Structure formats: structure tokens, C-alpha cells
Amino acid sequence: MRKLMVMVLACVMATSLGGLALALDPLNPSDAKRDDDGDQLSNLLEYMYGTDPLNEDTDADGLPDGYEVNYDQNRAIFPANNEWARFDSDDDGVNDVNVDPNYRFDPALKNAHDLADQDGWDTYTEYMIGTDPTNPDTDGDTLRDDLDPRPLIPDGSHSGQDDGSFEGQAQGTGMGTALSAHWDAFVLRGF
């Protein structure tokens, strides 16, 4: 079993390194900035994250490499008095949002089933719908994504308000911006 796992790992590494060799030519000064597989992650960033520059979804979890990197670097941040910042679903004393160590994305590791923001939807569902996988309430109307009939439109709240004016809104990528629908515009292109 151990031998089999080593062989599988070696194959994955060989495939990845093979792609890397094809995507990054030491004699070509411009290939680092290219995005050969169209996953919104440049070849150089693919190298830095250990992903395959010729495979848009290295860990085969349905989430493009660039999507995972984007949300790993740009997760929704909530002020301390916010309802979601106080949310501790596993009751381990570490709040889910902002600080829980499980609240990570790694494009080289399969994690589509992680409930990063504990809103009841797995990350792949959030990707398909366009909600923010790091924000339990993408549109900021206080209705949790999975309970919100229109999770990208701030038209509902627990109190019947429709302006999404909830105390202490998130900063960063998620709240009210439906970032997932536009994530490709946010992924680093500076390399």
C-alpha cells in the first residue's frame, strides 16, 4: 500500500514537473507571465504554489487553481462584533471566519468538500453558484448563503430589512460584491 502511494505520488510529481518544464523555458524571458492553462494563475505563480501550469485544476476538485489561490489570499474579514465573526460551528473556541486554521485553500490539495465558511454549502457549490466560499453571507443581507433565496442579491434579512445594512460588514472580497462571479479579475496577474 505504501509502495503504491509512493508510485502514485511520483507519477503526480513527474506529471507536474513535466508540465512545469514545458511551461517555463529558462531561455524564454516572457513565459513566467503567461497563463498556459487559462486558470488565471501565471506560470510563475503555478510554480510557487506547486500546481501544474498545464492543468487548470491540479487537485481535480472542480475548483480552478486560480480560484483557490484567490480565495486563500482574499478571504472575507469580519470585524469582531459581526455575527459571522462570532460563529464557532465546531465549538472549539476558535471562530470559523478569519482565524480558524481549517479556513484555508490549497490549490495543490483536494478540498472541494471543505466548509470553509460553514454556511452549509461546500466550496464547489459556492463556485458553481457564484457565492463567496469564505463568506457565509455573500450579499451581506444577514441571510446565510444556503438559506438565502437570492444569495447574490441583498434583498432579505432576519428583521425584514432589505438594504443589507448589518452592523459591521465584512471587509475584503466577499460582502456584497458577489466576487465569485468575477474572481478571474482578482487573481494575481503581476508576474
- Residue from 19, 44, 54, 57 that binds Ca ion (CB under 5 A)? 57
* 137 to 166: interface string for Ca ion, x by CB under 5 A: x-x-x-x-x--x------------------
Does residue 35 belong to the site contacting Ca ion (CB under 5 A)? yes
Closest C-alpha to 136, from 118, 150, 123, 153: 118
Angle at 97 between CA 47 and CA 60, to 5 degrees: 35
Whether the Cβ atoms of residue 96 and residue 159 lie closer than 8 Å to each other: no
- Residue from 16, 117, 123, 187 that binds Ca ion (CB under 5 A)? 117
Q: Which range in 2-10, 14-22, 30-38, 94-102 contacts Ca ion by CB under 5 A?
A: 30-38
Q: What is the DSSP string of 22-57?
A: HH--TT-TTTTT--TT-SS--HHHHHHHT--TT-S-
Q: Which residues, 6 or more positions from 83, have their beta carbon under 8 angstroms from its beta carbon?
A: 142, 166
Q: Is 186 helix (H, G, I), strand (E, B) or coil?
A: coil
Does residue 131 belong to the site contacting Ca ion (CB under 5 A)? yes
Does residue 96 belong to the site contacting Ca ion (CB under 5 A)? no
Does residue 114 belong to the site contacting Ca ion (CB under 5 A)? no
Residues that bind Ca ion (CB under 5 A): 35, 37, 39, 41, 57, 59, 61, 63, 117, 119, 131, 137, 139, 141, 143, 145, 148
